[in-house]
A = this chain, B = another copy of it.
Amino acid sequence: MLFFTQCFGAVLDLIHLRFQHYKAKRVFSAAGQLVCVVNPTHSLKYAPTRCAAAQTSTEQGILPPCHHHEAVHDPQLVPCTCPLFSCPWEGHLEVVVSHLRQTHRINILQGAEIVFLATDMHLPAPTDWIIMHSCLGHQFLLILRKQEKYEGHPQFFATMMLIGTPTQADNFTYRLELNRNQRRLKWEATPRSVLECVDSVISDGDCLVLNTSLAQLFSDNGSLAIGIAITTSKVHNAEGEM
């Protein structure tokens, strides 16, 4: 009986996902973009660790390891949430993609323009939604994070990072776009390298920032659709640099 109940639950989940996917496809159908449903990540996240990111090592192509602490007693301290979460793995850039896919089950999508559909936006902070994006011969990581910078006021932070060096990252521009309820918000910037800790990008607020009410305005039934496009920096510089 329990088996049948679980099966029924799984079928319902699949129908729900399919429905969300269909809605997102309808929403973005004009552009013929690939839609990917992204569920929040739960595993290995926000363990009592911190990223000992040595800035000096970032240009050497080695990801800084995340060292374990005994405990985080101060609630002001934000645990390490570099793209490898609290994973103690350490390795060269060339094998980061396979590590992320195999160990952390992060999906990878192909295409210049895709739609990132983050589900369950109502989940309490801190929560991450992560996907890899393969484009222009490189792999990028999109990170959407719900976090309380000010206690009791969760905000959403979205940024894109290149799985490459900061020098390589300078050659690209990424665009994140939200569009719903007669409102449109676009953010364009140069991606950071995964060798830089994502925590600093978010604590600096140098990314797309949404407060909860705005996120709700852009959400549909608890899911937030973010259109993603990546171009080379030459295009960005030519058309937009001021």
Contacts and interface: CB of A to CB of B under 8 A. Distances in A.
Nearest to A186: B186
23 contacts: A28-B242, A30-B242, A150-B150, A150-B153, A179-B241, A182-B190, A182-B236, A182-B241, A183-B190, A184-B186, A184-B188, A184-B240, A185-B185, A185-B186, A185-B188, A186-B186, A204-B213, A205-B211, A206-B214, A209-B209, A209-B211, A209-B214, A225-B242
A214 B205 CA distance: 6
A118 to B, nearest CB: 16
Contact of A185 (B149, B187, B204): B187
Contacts of A205: 211, 213-214
Interface of A: 27-28, 30, 149-150, 153, 173, 179-180, 182-190, 204-206, 209, 211, 213-214, 217, 225, 233, 236, 240-242
A19 to B, nearest CB: 17
A240 B206 contact: no
A242 B206 contact: no
A149 B213 CA distance: 14
Contacts of A188: 183-185
A240 B30 CA distance: 10
Given A27-B242, A184-B186, A184-B240, 12 more contacts: A149-B153, A179-B240, A179-B241, A179-B242, A180-B242, A182-B189, A182-B241, A183-B206, A185-B186, A204-B213, A206-B214, A209-B209
Nearest to A183: B189
A149 B27 CA distance: 33
